[in-house]
Amino acid sequence: MFQIDIANGKTGKTLLTVDVTKADSILDVKKKHIKEKTYLYPSRISYKLSLKDKALSEDVKLGDIETLCDGSVLYFKDLGPQIGWATVFLAEYTGPIFCYLVFYISRKCDWVYPDNEGAPHNFVQNLACACYVGHYVKRVLETIFIHRFSKATMPIGNLFKNCTYYWGFSSFISYFINHPLYTLPSTDTQVYAGLSIYLLGELGNLSTHLAFKNMRPAGTKTRVIPRPNGNPLCFLFNLVSCPNYTYEVISWIGFTVLTQTFFAGLFTFVGGAQMLQWALGKHRTYKKEFKDYPKNRKAMIPFIL
């Protein structure tokens, strides 16, 4: 039995002292902290050995931390109110379905579209609705049945930020695609080319999500070097660390070609830029974690970045 101090990560001021053993984990320390500060809960607490270090994982045993001894300090940060990753995903992916359908169904409403002449949706508008809604139905089902999250929660503020992004873009995209003055692509070839690219991206994205699921056994946080399986659409694992993002961007490029609208293109560009940042971060983590990580593999764009 020995004692460690819990200090404020900003000021360095000691907040409390707890009795621990080498067999205790960081999660055990959090539980003792919560007894003193009842408004806290484990996922809201972050501990570091120093202000420059990474946060300690909950499953780390104190006895495995060589520098930790009697009188040592853990620096505490309150991460704020938390919410489950799955909850955020379900909210941000369910919203676009309803946002898109509101304008699709309101095609003949004068207060939504003053230029409405009562004309029915054309083939491209119906196809775009099926593609857009289908994408988010797929994402909802993946969240429920496929995704395994390495972290249980995220700051609750992300819920509002993510929903604003997805719901807002969905409303703009749907409003202009379903507008009575919407201009069709010039040729059927463009429509079917866009649809083909979209379907390739969707199938590839689903395939890589299933592959990632099988790389992490249920109930574990096991991490391995991502590698292709027998699915030919998973060959991109040989070229990039995050083929799921690559296929997602391909899907939205296809949707943009199919619909020929500004906001679909803008959504593809903004989403692609964000996914590239995520991919670069994950790529760096893989290279640090695995010494034998493939040297020629890129983050998201094959042979480039």
Q: Which helix (H) or strand (E) holds 277?
A: helix 262-289
Structure tokens at 41: 């809960």
Contact (CB, 8 A) for 75 and 50: yes
Give the DSSP H/E element, type plus range, for residue 164. helix 157-177
Averaged pLDDT score across all residues of the chain: 94
Give the chain's largest Cα–Cα span.
Answer: 79
Q: What is the pLDDT of residues 169-202, one digit of tens each?
A: 999 999 999 999 999 999 999 999 999 999 999 9
Confidence of residue 3 (pLDDT cuts 50, 70, 90): very high
Q: Per the structure block, which two tokens stand in for 116?
A: 């409405």
Beta strands in 23-69 (DSSP E): 45-48
Tens digits of per-residue pLDDT, 252-300? Answer: 999 999 999 999 999 999 999 999 999 999 999 999 999 999 999 999 9
Name the residue among 205, 203, 202, 226 with its Cα closest to residue 214.
226
Contacts of 71 (CB under 8 A, 6+ apart): 2, 3, 4, 5
Contact 190, 116 (CB under 8 A): no
Encode pLDDT of 201-255 as tens digits: 999 999 999 999 999 877 777 789 999 999 999 999 999 999 999 999 999 999 9
State pTM to two decimals.
Answer: 0.90
215 backbone dihedrals φ, ψ, rounded to 5°: -80, -15
Instruction: Give the C-alpha separation, 169 to 173, whole Å.
Output: 6
Residue 277 to residue 237: CA distance in whole angstroms: 18
